[in-house]
Amino acid sequence: MTSGLMNFLRACFQPRADGLVHTSSSDSGGRQDGLLWYKDTGQHVNGEFSMAVVQANNLLEDQSQIESGCLSLQDSGPYGTFIGIYDGHGGPETSRFINEHLFQNLKRFTSEHQSMSVEVIRKAFQATEEGFLSVVTRQWPTKPQIAAVGSCCLVGVICSGTLYVANLGDSRAVLGRLVRSTGEVLAIQLSAEHNVSIESVRQEMQSLHPDDSQIVVLKHNVWRVKGLIQISRSIGDVYLKKSEFNREPLYAKFRLREPFGKPILSADPAISVHDLQPDDQFIIFASDGLWEHLSNQGAVDIVQNHPRNGIARRLVKTALQEAAKKREMRYSDLKKIDRGVRRHFHDDISVAVVFLDSNLVSRASSVKSPNISVKGGGISLPTKTTPT
Mean pLDDT of 193-204: 96
Instruction: Decide: 176 and 304 in contact? Cβ < 8 Å.
Output: yes
Question: What CA–CA distance (Å, rounded) separates 106 from 97?
Answer: 14
**What does the pLDDT look like over 137-190, one tens digit per residue?**
999 999 999 999 999 999 999 999 999 999 999 999 999 999 999 999 999 999
What is the pLDDT of the chain when averaged over all its residues? 89
| Model pTM score | 0.89
Question: 70 forms bridges with which residues in the sheet?
Answer: 79
Instruction: Decide: 53 and 349 in contact? Cβ < 8 Å.
Output: yes
Spatial CA neighbour of 302 closest among 275, 281, 271 = 281
What backbone torsions phi and psi does residue 176 show, to the nearest 5 degrees? -105, 115
Give the pLDDT band (50/70/90) at residue 201: very high
More confident residue, 8 or 347: 347
- Check pLDDT > 80 for residue 205: yes
At residue 378, the pLDDT reads: 58
% the chain with pLDDT above 70: 90
Mean pLDDT of 213-233: 95
Question: What CA–CA distance (Å, rounded) separates 37 from 376?
Answer: 7
At residue 143, the pLDDT reads: 97
Question: What CA–CA distance (Å, rounded) separates 322 from 318?
Answer: 6
Give the pLDDT band (50/70/90) at residue 195: very high
At residue 14, the pLDDT reads: 38
**What does the pLDDT look like over 90-140, one tens digit per residue?**
999 999 999 999 999 999 999 999 999 999 999 999 999 999 999 999 999
% the chain with pLDDT above 90: 76
At residue 193, the pLDDT reads: 94
At residue 369, the pLDDT reads: 83
At residue 364, the pLDDT reads: 62
Give the pLDDT band (50/70/90) at residue 52: very high
Question: 33 forms bridges with which residues in the sheet?
Answer: 23, 36
**What does the pLDDT look like over 247-271, one tens digit per residue?**
999 999 999 988 898 999 999 999 9
At residue 1, the pLDDT reads: 46
- Check pLDDT > 80 for residue 36: yes
- Check pLDDT > 80 for residue 42: yes
Task: Centre a 10 Å sphere on the Cβ of residue 255 and count the other Cβ atoms it contains.
Answer: 15
Give the pLDDT band (50/70/90) at residue 386: very low
Question: What CA–CA distance (Å, rounded) separates 295 from 140?
Answer: 40
- Check pLDDT > 80 for residue 2: no
More confident residue, 9 or 43: 43
